[in-house]
Structure 1
Amino acid sequence: MKTTFQLSEIDRVAQEVLAAAPNKTLCFYGDMGVGKTTLIKSLVKELGAVDIANSPTFGLVNEYADSDGRQLAFHFDFYRLNDEMEALDMGFDDYLASDAWLFIEWPEKIASLIPEDAVRLNLHFIDEKTRSIELNVC
């Protein structure tokens, strides 16, 4: 999947990503401010989460559930991570074993911990309101 879109079309893009992803581990690559968190917010909404997604920058992970309390997704932001041991210390392996969607920002910080079949999403700036996204299996 490769597409160019306006930021106003983010919900449609989220639907397309969820439909096209061959598994539930999604790794988001792109420059600061390109819209990784914005897309993840839309993905969480499309999955039917009760809470509105926000960036877990300082807590490293946010959890999202549906109205019945079932875990839908975990959103990781590893930007401030110093090394992979920090991810292991927080139980990242347990999250990988869950059945929930995993949305991982800054996966390059934990490269050796990412499953081989993880989905790679590359986001790029086109202009102030336009982005491109490319979805590939790692």
Structure 2
Amino acid sequence: MILQSEAATMALGKQLADILLPGDKIALTGTLGAGKTTLARGLLRGLGFEDDVPSPTFAIVQQYEPPEVRLSLAHVDFYRIEDPNEIQELGLDDILMDGAIIAEWPDRMADSFWTEGLQITLEIRNDNTRQLTWTAGPAWKDRWPII
């Protein structure tokens, strides 16, 4: 799938919010500037969040809860994680009991964590559009692709 603009990336995120369920995991892979945070912002807009959506690079986990969103969501950025043991302290399994996770730089975590999830890769093309490729686990059957 080709995303022609930042607005198209935001729109895809909003569509993704419509199908998001508790326990869902979304892994976003791509180089700096590929649109990972933009897609996450679109998802949060689709969930009803109206304020600014900062990148969680420094906070590592940015939590969003009802009533600001229709479903609890943790926006996670593993970029600064150097030791995989630090991930255990984030409480991601607890988040997944009632909510969902969208994560940037998911390669810092074991591949097995993402097996059931939606794994999205964004690549910057020469014409400045974005190429989106994906892999979806069984939990996403009949929900993805949404376009």
TM-score interval for Structure 1 and Structure 2 normalised by the shorter chain: 0.7 to 0.9
Partner residue in 2 for 1:88: 88
Partner residue in 1 for 2:25: 25
Q: How does 1:1-138 map to 2 (within 5 A)?
A: 2-18=1-17, 24-67=24-67, 71-96=71-96, 98-112=97-111, 114-127=113-126, 129-137=128-136
Distance 2:49 2:83 in 1: 30
SS of structure 1 residue aligned to 2:10: helix
Q: CA shift at 1:13, angstroms?
A: 1.7
Partner residue in 1 for 2:144: none
8 Å Cα contact 1:28/1:36 also seen in 2 = yes
Higher percent of residues as strand: 1
User: Per the alignment, do residues 56 and 101 of structure 1 end up closer, same or farther by CA in structure 2, a change over 3 Å counting?
Assistant: same
Unaligned runs of 5+ in 2: 138-147
CA RMSD, 1 decimal: 2.5
Unaligned runs of 5+ in 1: none
TM superposition score normalised by structure 2: 0.77
SS of structure 2 residue aligned to 1:53: coil
How many equivalent residue pairs?
A: 136
Give the % identical residues.
27
Q: CA shift at 1:19, angstroms?
A: 5.1
Q: CA shift at 1:113, angstroms?
A: 5.7
SS of structure 1 residue aligned to 2:93: helix
